[in-house]
């Protein structure tokens, strides 16, 4: 048996329970991992509360990211052996392949031998943030040296990953954050410019930084009223990639800006990359190269022990973090 986190009803962090359950042996094509660390994602809070794109059967497990040691290998799996240090590409369904536990099982194609220089905490903080940012900026938007890119929710793990990736290709990252509290930290991290949306006029500041109608790429996790100033500052033929929806307010469709500038507004899920081997392989190669060179380095906001998973989820929902929240097992 192993300890795992499950929830038997939808709700706040308090619905999470640590339970002892029997874990079956890995099936054909699967790898079982003894987990050392978990990376927390906002998607997990959404599924726990019943507002995620997937409605889980109850009781349900949870979690998208883990790092640890290979415990057992199923039939038909080559290239892995017990004792290997590995981390996990987020699966399509965390209800089917949950990460929160002492033991977790995954399809072999989602298991990666990460650089040995990474700690367990860092390894658990890699794949969701960098695959999400890579898929949007490199795979879809084809970000290049000439581009300005606006990154909202910039102090989140995905926002910080986007800043690093923009700097790798030589683009100019403009970080947008709610208040000025994290402004200096974002500048020190590598943002070329930082805008506090609560303290500054977003449309005016974007035009001051990039010039009129000169921003080709916007990477947004927020939605809501921010769409109007973002699209007003975009270049003709620009693309806005929406991967979140953090704003509780309605998101207006900026009809005249979209028409006048022939803009693309595109919804995006990381599953587009993780579910397509032809797109996942170059993404993994890019990320592994960045990790080995040091140009990509996960930022850990705070770590919690496994027994404090409820407290970790409360911190996740506080929006106080700068980077990734990690739970050690």
Q: Which stretches in the chain have pLDDT values below 50?
A: none
Q: How many CB atoms lie within 10 A of CB 311?
A: 13
CA-CA-CA-CA torsion sign (326, 309, 322, 99): positive
pTM (predicted TM-score): 0.93
Q: How many CB atoms lie within 10 A of CB 179?
A: 10
Nearest to 190 by CA among 66, 48, 294: 294
List of residues 6+ apart from 172 with CB closer than 8 A: 147, 148, 149, 166, 192, 193, 210
Q: What is the pLDDT of residue 131?
A: 98
Summary mean pLDDT of the chain: 95
Q: What is the pLDDT of residue 287?
A: 97
pLDDT in tens, 46-99: 999 998 888 889 999 999 999 999 999 999 999 999 999 999 999 999 999 999
Query: Do 44 and 64 touch, CB atoms closer than 8 A?
Result: yes
The full set of domains in the chain, from first to last, is 2-126+298-328 (3.90.180.10), 129-271 (3.40.50.720)
């Amino acid at each position: 048996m192993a300890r795992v986190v499950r929830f038997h009803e939808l709700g706040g962090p308090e619905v999470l329970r640590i339970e002892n359950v029997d874990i079956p042996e890995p099936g054909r094509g699967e790898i079982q991992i003894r987990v050392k660390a978990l990376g927390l994602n906002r998607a997990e809070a959404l599924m726990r509360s019943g507002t995620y794109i997937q409605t889980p059967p109850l009781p349900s497990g949870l979690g998208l990211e883990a790092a640890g040691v290979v415990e057992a290998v199923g039939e038909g799996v080559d290239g892995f052996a017990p004792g290997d240090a590995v981390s996990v590409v987020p699966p399509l369904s965390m209800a089917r392949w949950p990460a929160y536990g002492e033991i977790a099982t995954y399809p072999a194609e989602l298991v990666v031998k990460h650089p040995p220089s990474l700690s367990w905490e860092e390894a658990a903080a890699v794949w969701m943030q960098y695959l999400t940012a890579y898929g949007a900026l490199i795979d879809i938007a084809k970000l290049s040296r000439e581009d300005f890119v606006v990154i909202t929710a910039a102090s989140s793990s995905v926002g910080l990953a986007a800043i690093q990736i923009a700097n790798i290709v030589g683009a100019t990252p403009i970080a947008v954050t709610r208040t000025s509290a994290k402004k200096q930290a974002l500048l020190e991290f590598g943002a070329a410019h930082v805008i506090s949306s609560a303290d500054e006029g977003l449309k005016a500041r974007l035009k001051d930084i990039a010039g009129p109608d000169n921003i080709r790429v916007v990477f947004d996790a927020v939605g809501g009223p921010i769409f109007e100033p973002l699209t007003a500052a975009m270049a003709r033929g620009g693309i806005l990639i929406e991967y979140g929806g953090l704003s509780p307010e309605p998101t207006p469709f900026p009809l005249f800006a979209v028409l006048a500038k022939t803009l693309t507004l595109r919804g995006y899920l990381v599953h587009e990359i993780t579910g397509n081997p032809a797109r996942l392989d170059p993404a993994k190669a890019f990320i592994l190269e960045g990790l080995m060179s040091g140009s990509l380095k996960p930022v850990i906001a705070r770590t919690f022990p496994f027994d404090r998973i409820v407290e970790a989820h409360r911190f996740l929902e506080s929006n106080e973090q700068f980077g990734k929240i990690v739970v050690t097992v």
